[in-house]
Structure formats: C-alpha cells, structure tokens
Amino acid sequence: MENKIIFGRAEAISVLIIIMTTQLFISFPRLMAESGGNAGWLLTIYVTLLSLFFFMIISKLYKPFEGKDILDIGEYVAGNTGRILVGVIILITYVFIISIVLREFSDGLKILAFEKSPVSFIMIFFLIGMILAAYYGLEPLTRYSAIIVPIIAAAFLFIIIGVVPNFDTNNIIPILGKGPSELFLKGATKISVYSGLSILFLIPPFLGNYNNFKKTGYYSIILSSIFLTGGSLVYSLAIPYPATTEFVLPIYTLARFIDLGRFFKRIESVFLLAWATSAYIYLSIVLFFIVYVYKKAFKLKYHSPLIMPFSILIFTFALLPESMMAALELESNIFRVFAWIVTFCMPLFLLTIASIIKKKKRVKK
Amino acid sequence: MIIKLKLLLAIIIPCIILSVLSGCFDAREIDDLAYPMAIGLDKGDDNLLKITLQLAVPVAIAGGGGEEAPGGGGGTSTIVTIEAPAIYSGINMANTFISKQINLSHAKVIVFSEELAKEGIGKYISAIARGREFRPSMFVMVAKGSAEEYIRAVEPALEANPAKYYEMKLRAFDYTGFTTDATFTRFYHNIKSTAAQSYAILASVSKFDSSKDIDNDESTYLEKGRDIPFEGDFKAGSMPKVGDIKSEVMGLAVFDGDKMVGELDGGKTTSHLMVMGGFNYAFITIPDPIKEGFYVLINTSQRRNPEVEVSMVNNSPHISVKVLLEGDILSIQSGINYEDVDKLKVLEDGAEEFFKEEISHYLTKIIEEYGVDICGFGNNMKRNFLTWREWENFNWLNKFKNSTFDVEVDLKIRRPGLMMRTMPVPDSKGDED
Amino acid sequence: MVDFIKTVKDFFAFKEPKEIEQFVLKEDENEKPKPEEKSDKKQKPKQKESFISKLTSNNHQKEKEKEDKAEDEKSVGISKDINENLEHIKKVYNIPDNGDLVIREFEIVAKDKSLNAFIILFDGMSDSTIINSSILQPLMLLSNVEVKGKENDLALYIRNHLIPHNQVKMVEKISDIIDEVNFGGSGLFIDGIDKAYACDTKGWLQRSVDRPNTEIVIRGPQEAFTEGMRVNTSLIRKTLKDKNLIVENFKIGKRSQTPCSLLYLKDIANESLVDEARRRLENINVDFIFDSGELEQFLEDSTFLPAPQILATERPDRTSNLITQGKLAVLMHGSPFALIMPITNSDLLHSPEDAYVRFPFSNLFRVVRIIAVLLSLLLPGFYIAITNYHHEMIPTDLLIAIEAAREAVPFPSVMEILMMEFAFELIREAGVRIPGPIGPTLGIIGALILGQAAVAANIVSPILIIVVAVTGIGSFAVPNFALAFSFRILRFVYIILAALAGFLGITLGIFVHGIMLVSAKSFGVPFMAPFGPRTSDGIADQFLRSPIWNQEKRPDYLNVKNQKKQPEISRKWTQKEKKK
C-alpha cells in the first residue's frame, strides 16, 4: 500500500532540505568555524560543489535503475544478502544519527529555555511527536514539510535581517581563513554535512521517474547549500572569529542579538518554534525511514508495529552519552567524519557494480 | 476508526501522564520572580566580590512611583549588597533572603568598579556570556569609585521604572555623543577580537553637593589647551552639576584585554564615535574662528561613515582617518554673518580645525598613552592578509602602540536655523550679541 | 478487570489494519473507473455489514428477517379491488389511532361506468385547494362530461383526461403512494384499476425565503435557504442558470425517506468524485435523518478530526459559486443548509463577501481573518508560554505591569486562563440557549460585570481579561462556525501544552495538529491542498485573493473536466485600442 504513495518534487525537496539543514540549528556553523576559521562559509560552498559533483556521478549511474532505491540495488547486486547488508548499514547510521540529534536538540532546548526540566522530559516531548507522525506515515510528513519549510526559511531570514546591525564585514577577513590547505584538503571530509542526501536514495519508489530524482537531488543540494552557506556566513559576519568557536548553539546566539528598539528584545524564544518544528520533522522522517528500511530489508508486511520498539531504542541510545559535550563530540568526530562513506561511497560502489552486472547481462543476451 | 481512536488516545494519555508525573519543571509565574535591573560588582572587602543588585518593585512602579518617595527612586527599586566569591554564588545567597527567586533576564546594566576593572574582569565576563538569562544588549559600565555607590545613587526622577531609566539614559549618546553603545555583545566581541580592544561606559556619583562646591579641578580642558572647559571636557563624577540626580555617565573606560587601562572624557568619546562611524548628532561648541572669546554652536552629525586606511610605513602602522561631518548652525554669539556663503567657508574651516584637533587628541591618547586599539583599526589592517595564521603572527594589538596617524575632517554647514543673518543689537555704545 | 486488561492489550498490541475503502481523487481526470473497481465498491457495503455483524452477531439475524418482512410489505402491489386497498392503507396507517390522515371516499364516472374511489392525504400537509380544484372537482364533476378519449385502458384514460393536476404519477405499488402521502402528496385509488395515482399536492406551511442568519454580508445577495428542498434547488437554479446543472435525487433514511439532492455541473465536476458522492449517499443505512448536520456526520471522512471536512452554508450564491468551481452540493429536505464537498482548509476561511468586494478590501478581510484564526487558536497558549517560561522576551515595562497586576491574584496563570476561558464558553453557550429578550442582558452581565468584578476581586489579572476577550473576538471573526468551534476545543489543548512546556509544547501541538490536517482528506481531496501537496494551479484564491480578472483556472486539486474559468484576458475592453 505504501508504494502507491507518490509525492511531488516540491515535497521531496522540502523533506531533503529539512534533513540537510536541521544541523544548522545545532552546531553546524560552529563546526565550520572550527575547521575553516572565519572562512567557514567558503568551506560550505566548497563542500557543496564537491557533493554536487558526487551526486552528478551517482545520478548518471542511477539512470538505468529508475524507481529503485538503494536496497533494491543491493538486492540486484548480491541478492538477499546484499539487500539486508545495505539495510543494516543504513539502519545503523540512521539510528546513530537520530539518537545523537535527539539528544543534542533536547539538550540544546534545555540550555536555552528549559533549564530545570530533566532532559528525558524534553526528549519525551520530541518522541510523542515523532511516534505520532511516523504512524501517520510519510505522505503527511512530506506535505507538512512542504508547508513548513517556507515558514522556517522566513524565520531564518528574519534572524538574518535582525542581526544585520551586528554585521562587520571585517570579521570574514582574512578571506581564506585558516588557509587553503586546511580548507580544501582537510575540509573535504566535511562533505558529510550533506549526509542527509542518503534519504534521496531511499525515495525513488515514491518519486516516480528518473528525471524527478535527478532534479530533486540537485535542487535540494543547492537550496540547502543556500541555507547552510547563509547560516555560516552570517555567523562569521556577526561574531569575530575566535569567539565563533565558543558558542554551543550558534544560530540561537545570533537570535539573541536581535534588538529592534526597546520593545522587541530577546525574542529568540519565538524562533524556538521554528527550530523545534524542524527538529520534529527531521526526527519523524528519519524515524519513519528507519522503520521503512527495516521493513523493506527484512521483507516484512507492516511497518507500524516497529515504530514503538525503535523509538524506545532511540530514546535509550539518546540517553547513553553522559553529557551534551559527549554527544556533540560523537557527532563532530564520528558522524560528520565518516557519514560521507555511507552517503556517497556506498551508492557509488553499489551502482558501479550494478551497472557492470547489467552490462554483462546485456552482453550475454 | 479504531486506529484513529488509538491515535487520539495516544495523544491524550501522554499529555495527562506528562502533566501528572512531571508537573511543570520550568514554569515560573512572573510574580514568583524578582528582576534585578542593575548588577554591580565591586571588589569585596573580605571576599572576592561584592555584588549589588537593584531589584525592581513592580507594585510601586505600577502604582505610579510610590507614595513614600515622591521622587520615585527609593520606592520603585530596592537594593541589596552581598559579598560572595562569584556572581552566581551571590545570587544564591540573595535568594535566601529575597522572597522571590532572582531572574537576571531583565538586567539592563552591569557595573564594574574601577578597582575590579583594573584587575581584570575576564572571569566574570565569561560567566555572563555563558549564562542564558543575561541579555546580550545589557550595557557594560565601569564606575569610578564603587559600583554599589553608583547603583545606590541611581534615583530615577522622571520615570518610575529604573529599567526604563537605564535604557533611556544609556541610549542618550544618540544625541549627546558622550557615551557609546557599549553593549555586552560589543564588549565581549572586542575582548575576544584580535583586531580591536574593548571599552565600557564610565559612570560615577556626582562629586558636588551644592552649586557652591563646583570646581573644574578634574576637567581635562587644560591638557587640551583651552581657557575654559567645554561641555565634553569632563569625565563622569566631575561634571559641574548638582541636583536630585546624583548618578552620572560620561566618557569611556578603555580596556586592554580584560583590564582597564584608562579613561576618556566626553569630548574624546565624541571623537571616538566619529572615528567609529557611530556618531549620530550632538550640539557642539566651537570657538569662533574670527572673534576670540565667542563661540559658535553647531548641531553636528555624521554625513557618511569615516574613511579609514591603515598601512605599514617603516614597519609601523600608519592610520589615516577622514571624518565626514555636516551641521546646522544653532547659535552665532559674535553675530558675524557666517550665514553668508563667502564667510561660511571660514566657519567650516574653523570647525574642521577644531574637530581635527579633538580627534588628534583622542588618537594620541589611545595610541601613545594607552596603546589600545578601541577603534578596531586592526580590522582595516586585516584586509592585507590572506590567511588567519599570517594575521595572528602579525600581532596587531602589540604593534598598534607604534602607530602614526593623520586626521582629515570635512565639515559642511547645511542650514542656518530660522535666521538668515544676525542684525546687531543697537545701543548707545556699540554692538554686542 | 479482564476487560480492562484487554483494552490495554488492544491499545498496545498491533492489529492488522482493517481494509477501509479509501477514495483518492486521481490525477487523471479522463480515467474512467475500471470494472474491477466497481465490483470493489459494490462489495464494500457488505464488508461493513460483516464488520457490524461481529459486534451484534445475535441480533443481526432477527433484524434481517424483520427487514425482509418490511421489504415484502413495501412491495405489495395495488389490488383491483378497492376495498382491499383501503384495508391495506388503513392497516398501514393504523387508522383508528391515526387522527390526521384523511380518507375521502367518492364516486366517479368514467367511460360510462360509475366507480368507487378514495383519496388519502394528511391533513395540513397537503394543499386542500389544489386537491379540491384539480383533483376532486374534475373527477366528480367533469367525469360526467363526454370526453373524446381513444384510450382503452381506463387508468390511462383517467390520467390523461380526468385529472388536470400538473404532477401526477401512476404507480403500481402501495409503498410509492405511502411515500408520496408521507411527504404531503395525496394518493388516489379507483376501483377496478390495479394502479393508483400519486399526486404532488404539498402544501404544508413553511418559512419563506429569508435573510441569512449566520453568514451575513454587507455587499451581496441577501437570500438564504429555507427548510423546503425544492425551494432551495429553485434558489440555486435561479442563481446558476446553466443547463449542465444536474440535480440528482436521493432518499436517505430507511423509514424517513428524506429527500436529498446532489447538485453539480456535469461538464465541470470530476466524474469519479460524483460517483463517490453518489456511492456514499446511497450507502447510508439509517432509520431517520432530520438535518444536514446529521448527514454531514454520515458523509465525512474522519469523525475525530477537529476541523470540518464538509462546508455547510445557508447561502444560495455561495453554493452556486462553489458548484461552479467543480465542487458538489447536497441539499436535504428540512435543512436550510447546503453541504459542500470536497473542501479544503482555505474554503473554510473564505466569506462569500470576499468575491463581491473589490480586490484591496477582500485581501484586507483575508489578512484580518488569518490573524483572527491565529489569535483565537494560539493567543492564550502563547500568553501562558511566555509568562511561564520565556520571561526574557516580554518588554520590561510590560513585565512589570503584568507582575504588578498579578501580585494579588492567588491562582497560577494557567488556572486563571482556564477559568476565564471556561467562563467565556459558559456565557457563549448560555447566550445561544437563552430566550431572545434576555440575551443582551446576559451579555452585559457576563462580559461587563463578571470581568469587572473578577478583576476587582483579584481573581484574575486585567491583562488576562484582555487576552481572553481578544481570543473571543478572534474566534467570532472566523467565518465558518464549525471551524471556529474546532478552534474553541483546540485552544484548551494549546493552553495545556503551553503550560507543560512553553513554546516546545506549542510546537508539539502545531506539529501534531498540522500532521493531522495534512493527512486529512475531504472526499479524496487533501485537506491542505494546494499547500500540503503542492499543486500547480488554483492558488489565485486561497489565502489571499488575486484580482478577479486574474483568476483564470479552477483549483487543480479538484481535477475538474474543464479547468479554465476564463480566458487569459477576461477584460476584453483593455485590448480594444490595439485591435483598432
């Protein structure tokens, strides 16, 4: 029944934008500042170009496999083993990242508005939304994100406009930041910021034809890069460099600066609505795909009974890191360093083998 | 249908469970909290810190200023002073005897005493940057003498609400030019910056009790080579004034890193604003270029952002500043017809000369005496570098001391006010204003 | 106890989802339903039955037998013997007990034969002048006159020559007569003929066409539907003069046989949509139905969604307008409200006046209305969230004012606002139920005295009164009553969520509410279209309204047969000069 759902390109793009830009609200601009100095935004652009290049190759290879997701390709390459292997790899990645993001968002919210609440209380709030949304399925989620993404974008734009008085163009000078070698060689692993793109390799069955797939990929990368570059650019414009590596929640710190006369000060809490919404969508979509991948990898009939067990699992994993620092450390040192292997290398590898097999088959015929 | 019902239950049951089990951890009614409007930090006598909190008394404020104190002040706020090792420990102590929990989210100013500032305030600043409750738009002040005395001297006369008093008074530089926008954000960024140093607003309690006591001993007019002190030749505390309002703000405290190294008077603060491009408008007294002993008053404002260029000459930085001003004539005491297009040039030149001198005084002071780049000239220097490492190795803050500078001022008088010319006052002897 | 454990088990255990017929409006408008799908649809009622049978397995058999009997009675044919018919009628209507049934027996002469006849009707339901002048008079008097009729069949002869009434049906079953009589008609039986005549002689008293009560506009038609269905259909035909306007008749209610009509434009409305509506209308199994409000509950997709999925309007002009967009309308006898389906969220936010006033005005209306919606839904929640969690964002002056006002109030602000909202709901409910003349008094007591006294007694703070009042006014500005109702319920949810976790709670509320709304469907059309699923066209008149000459297309999500409403240039006069 799920396979009958087909959603439009606008919905798919907005889902991918949410998946790829939610990190902006946690630690993305700081991470960029840490590795790129005051030229974090340059690093973002560089990484965008890299990921566009990779996606170009992948989408070329994808052409013969219209409407198949990465699991199907795994099956094509190595039968059931292949499908299950690919599924398990994706599952592990997703469970890992969703737990960390859940923990980071909850801890972030705890820092910025709910100092006295236990972190599990905030997590439960997120979990309720996630579970309900996952029960409703993918279709409402995509529609909801299509409505919400422009609103979040508007809120983000509002933050940028509000921070304009704090801008100092001298903050992004020296233009090359930590230097070309630091930026372009070491920075290449930061391509993991686009790890959310892996969702795209799971939705071809919902997307219909190949053309849609290709366009969705390009548009979502470019639009997210606008957000991400904008975010890190604004961050390094408003705060001088060494201080940019200090703040836990960069965009929140920016929102604190908004000062529109005596009456509108410290309105950062309003943006909590936008951040929490994007977190809700992010977490729900990833939870849905965890369940979906599990179902598809093991050829189960229904996915909904898996939602509760997986959310309890995620809840437990999210509580495992002893501190927020540990969670942030896990994200920046493990996930953001190795995620590109799952997102870009795995599809490349599988698709190359699959095309070779396909060619061989054709030759045989 | 069953599924929908299940979902509905799934929404309602957690809500009930959450509300019953957890209560509302963070929920605090507004009236359960006490809001300090000002925080003062002094060096403690026996402990590390002496913390002064000025708490708003909402009932008195809403009641129109309080019945017992007609001047506002005492009724609308209450002040407590505690000795403690750190800010938060002091607040913890205060919470035991103040009936409401203290919430710092509406603190408008933080006042450091001069003594503390000279020792270094980095350790307290980082606590404020880390704390969620503090406002980034809070003003940072340095009180000559003690912060406690300053806060106790704050008695808002025109408004009931001390918060409004701080907000209005500290924004007044928009039309006086005697303080600056030393918000916490700016202060913190400048402290952390490798291209600029920070500054805070200078505050103090008035020295004089009655108008007979007034003297100009602490004025800076002599070092500027003037016969009489102009309006900007004072620092907070020594302003020749008396009145109900005892507290004063004027001038800047200059920091090297997190340590205060010097003070600037009101006039130099105006120059600072002009060089930074943050000068809005102010009434400025200018000696009459032709007739000595007379003055021309100009409502001066900044025409455009100043043009600043920094370059390396003989291995030391050279700063050239061009300040672009414009102004309207407020008063010409001598009655000389400066409104005339030919004579206007004379006035403009005189004014330019005056401002040039003022700014030179200011730059000399910060470069030669303090060696502190509070203007952020380093930001202009940064443009010559491509990577951060090169810039860090350059060590601007150290090199700034050796800078040389030249100043150029371009002032255009735009409007004469309501009068096109001053006709002499005829009397039996001669002409006078 | 066992039951309780079972329910808990049911709650947590997964059950295979039951197959529920789901209708989705397909993209392809020309796609005709395949035969397989048809068979699916036919099976569907059966499935439902079997589902019900599980619940009431014991009673079911008996009920079925009873139903069969009733079926038999209904299909009794008309006998040639008039006495048999009379007996039957008397039995059906329990004649000695039933007082208002009139049975008038008389004789007529036709083809030189004197025949016994009787006519039945309900006193007060039928127009006696019509019966006298168009049925009884001709039959009793004119039958003596020589009429040149070629018909050999007596029944046809009587119909064609002796009854000059305009709406006469010749029927063969007694049940048809009974249906007609129940609905104000009259039944004529004549001896020796195995047919009877059902004459439409409705003449009960009914309200005349009046001004609308709930959807008041300043500019625009001032007519509203009444309780009579034919009056209502005529009102629509009068507004929508189009030959393609189809008025399909249905009867709903096994016993009440309440007439309903389905109205649509044949060359515009999507066929599968009409089929679906027809299928739903035909498959409602209920004894009696009285108002379109009940019908709405039988027709709607989701019962538990707070937002209405069918629009009820009492304005013929609005109904016509929506029909022209490709939507369907259902009128029901006895209800002055038309049901419009399918609708989307933005239809509920529109007022009929939007189309009649000029472009800038209608957009001002719309903006005000959207703000009103947000206020009525979220303002109390926001107030609670801000005053309980996010103190730093209140301007200091206001904070001090609120703090001073709350100083003497003993309740927590959540209690305060729940109390006041409840009091407000109380006033509102009482205001509706109260007899007319006392109404204004109650308003004054409620609003003025209660609010004033509550503040004076330090039970609530004055700022809270403002919040509640603004919320109340906001909810009155929502044009659709049902939508305003859903906000009234949800407002409390938002208050509780805000009290639990401030803005995070509100975000959870908005998220879940939003997910519910986007997953909802009204007759297969996504409720949040064209925003939820982004569709290409039809946004000319959604949240804001573009100029009337710019609204060229009908909404895309309806998949209408003819999407174009007007050509690119609908103001041809703007082009005139070029042509010259």
Under 8 Å between Cβ of C366 and C543: yes
Question: Is residue B395 exposed (0-12), middle (13-18) or buried (19+ Cβ within 10 Å)?
Answer: exposed
User: Which amino acid would we find at residue A81?
Assistant: T
- Integer CA distances (angstroms), B73 to B78, B182, C298, in order: 9, 25, 68
Residue boundaries of the structural domains of chain A: 13-352
Residue C435 has a pLDDT of: 80
Quick: pLDDT tens for B317-339. 999 999 999 999 998 888 888 88
A128 interaction partners in chain B (CB closer than 8 Å)? 11, 14
- Give the DSSP letter of residue C173: B
Q: CA of C500 to nearest chain B CA: how many angstroms apart? A: 5
Give me the DSSP letters along C197-266. EEE--B----PPP---SSS--SSS------S-HHHHHHHHHHH---TTEEEEEEEESTTT-EEEEEEEET
Nearest CA among A166, A312, A316, A330 for reference residue A243: A166
Quick: pLDDT tens for B144-174. 889 999 998 888 778 788 888 888 888 888 8
Between B19, B27, B31, which is nearest C496 by CB?
A: B19
Q: CA of C520 to nearest chain B CA: how many angstroms apart? A: 11
Nearest CA among C419, C408, C417, C410 for reference residue C387: C417
At B7, is the pLDDT very low, low, confident or very high (cuts 50, 70, 90)?
Answer: low
Quick: pLDDT tens for C323-379. 988 899 999 988 999 999 888 888 888 888 888 888 899 889 889 998 998 999 999
Averaging pLDDT over each range in C195-209, C219-233, C554-568, which range is the top one? C219-233
Residue B390 has a pLDDT of: 86
Q: What are phi and psi of C370, to 5 degrees?
A: -65, -40
State whether C325 and C415 are in the same domain. no
Q: Which residue of A has its CA nearest to C22?
A: A1
Burial B360-374 (b: 16+ CB within 10 A, else e): bbbbebbbeebbbbb
Distance between CA atoms of C180 and C119, rounded to whole angstroms? 12
Q: What are phi and psi of A195, to 5 degrees?
A: -65, -20
Length of chain A: 365
Per the CATH hierarchy, to which homologous superfamily does domain B267-433 belong?
Nutrient germinant receptor protein C, domain 3 (3.30.300.210)
Q: Tokens for B323, please give them.
A: 């300040």
Torsion of CA B360, B363, B368, B369, to 10 degrees: 100
State whether C272 and C332 are in the same domain. yes
User: Which amino acid would we find at residue B314?
Assistant: N
Give me the DSSP letters along A103-164. HHHHHHHHHHT-TTS-HHHHHHHHHHHHHHHHHH-HHHHHHHHHHHHHHHHHHHHHHHHHHG
Interface test with C, best of B30, B33, B57, B106 (most C CBs within 10 A): B30
Q: What are phi and psi of C526, to 5 degrees?
A: -55, 135
Evaluate whether residue C481 is within a structural domain.
yes
Q: CA of C79 to nearest chain B CA: how many angstroms apart? A: 48
Distance between CA atoms of C472 and A234, rounded to whole angstroms? 41
Q: Tokens for B265, please give them.
A: 């008077």
User: Which residues, at least 6 apart from B315, have a Cβ–Cβ distance to it below 8 Å?
Assistant: none
At C256, is the pLDDT very low, low, confident or very high (cuts 50, 70, 90)?
Answer: confident
* A13-352: in CATH 1.20.1740.10: yes
Using the predicted structure, report yes or no on whether residue C39 has a pLDDT greater than 70.
no
More confident residue, B382 or A261: B382
Under 8 Å between Cβ of A113 and B26: yes
Between A124, A171, A180, which is nearest B18 by CB?
A: A124
- Integer CA distances (angstroms), C238 to C231, C313, C317, C329, in order: 10, 17, 10, 15
Q: Tokens for C196, please give them.
A: 């009877």
- The C-alpha angle C414, C420, C423, rounded to 5 degrees, equals 140
At B411, is the pLDDT very low, low, confident or very high (cuts 50, 70, 90)?
Answer: very high
Distance between CA atoms of C331 and B299, rounded to whole angstroms? 76
Evaluate whether residue C215 is within a structural domain.
no
Q: What percent of chain B has pLDDT over 70?
A: 91
Residue A318 has a pLDDT of: 92
Domain end among C315, C343, C371: C343
Quick: pLDDT tens for C100-141. 888 888 888 777 778 888 888 888 888 888 888 888 888 888
Distance between CA atoms of B108 and B36, rounded to whole angstroms? 8
Residue B69 has a pLDDT of: 43
State whether C137 and C160 are in the same domain. yes
Distance between CA atoms of A141 and C515, rounded to whole angstroms? 7
pTM, two decimal places: 0.87
* C18·B15 Cβ contact <8 A: no
Q: Tokens for A98, please give them.
A: 């969703």
The whole-number average pLDDT for the span B217-221 is 81
Evaluate whether residue C569 is within a structural domain.
no
Q: Which residue of C has its CA nearest to B37?
A: C396
pLDDT, mean of each 10-residue run, chain A (365 residues): 63 90 88 86 90 90 84 87 90 91 90 84 88 88 90 90 87 82 82 86 84 89 92 90 87 87 79 90 93 91 86 92 89 82 88 88 82
E strand segments, chain A = 259-260, 264-265
Between C403, C407, C512, which is nearest B11 by CB?
A: C512
State whether C419 and C442 are in the same domain. yes
C16 interaction partners in chain A (CB closer than 8 Å)? 302
* C504·A122 Cβ contact <8 A: yes
Nearest CA among A251, A310, A299, A311 for reference residue A108: A251
Domain containing residue C302: 229-343
Q: Tokens for B32, please give them.
A: 């359960």
When mean pLDDT is compared across B17-21, B207-211, C505-509, the lowest value belongs to B17-21
Other Cβ atoms within 10 Å of C52 Cβ, number: 12
Residue boundaries of the structural domains of chain B: 29-206+243-264, 267-433
State whether C440 and C366 are in the same domain. yes
Q: At what angle do helices A119-136 and A138-163 cross, to 10 degrees?
A: 130
Nearest CA among A278, A288, A15 for reference residue A131: A288
Q: CA of C385 to nearest chain B CA: how many angstroms apart? A: 8
3-state secondary structure B2-27: HHHHHHHHHHHHHHHHHHHHHCCCCC
Distance between CA atoms of A222 and B39, rounded to whole angstroms? 47
Please give the radius of gyration of chain A, using alpha carbons only, rounded to the nearest integer: 20
State whether C255 and C403 are in the same domain. no
The per-type count for chain C, helices as H runs and strands as E runs, is 22, 12
H/E element holding C292?
Answer: helix C292-299
State whether C516 and C378 are in the same domain. yes
Interface test with A, best of C511, C527, C535, C557 (most A CBs within 10 A): C511
Q: CA of A115 to nearest chain C CA: how many angstroms apart? A: 10
State whether C99 and C183 are in the same domain. yes
Using the predicted structure, report yes or no on whether residue B64 has a pLDDT greater than 60.
no
Using the predicted structure, report yes or no on whether residue C53 has a pLDDT greater than 70.
no
State whether C447 and C334 are in the same domain. no
In this complex, the chains that touch B, judged by 3 or more CB pairs closer than 8 A, are A, C
Nearest CA among A298, A362, A293, A326 for reference residue A119: A326
State whether C424 and C491 are in the same domain. yes
* B25·A116 Cβ contact <8 A: yes
Q: For chain C, what is the domain count?
A: 3
CB-side neighbour CA atoms (13 Å) of A335: 26
Using the predicted structure, report yes or no on whether residue B258 has a pLDDT greater than 80.
yes
Using the predicted structure, report yes or no on whether residue B112 has a pLDDT greater than 90.
yes
In this complex, the chains that touch C, judged by 3 or more CB pairs closer than 8 A, are A, B
The whole-number average pLDDT for the span C144-155 is 70
Residue C12 has a pLDDT of: 66
Distance between CA atoms of B94 and B102, rounded to whole angstroms? 8
State whether C370 and C396 are in the same domain. yes
Between C393, C501, C532, which is nearest A146 by CB?
A: C532
Q: What are phi and psi of C414, to 5 degrees?
A: -65, -45
Please give the radius of gyration of chain B, using alpha carbons only, rounded to the nearest integer: 26
Under 8 Å between Cβ of C12 and A131: no
User: Which amino acid would we find at residue B339?
Assistant: E
Between B25, B137, B379, which is nearest A170 by CB?
A: B379
Evaluate whether residue C68 is within a structural domain.
no
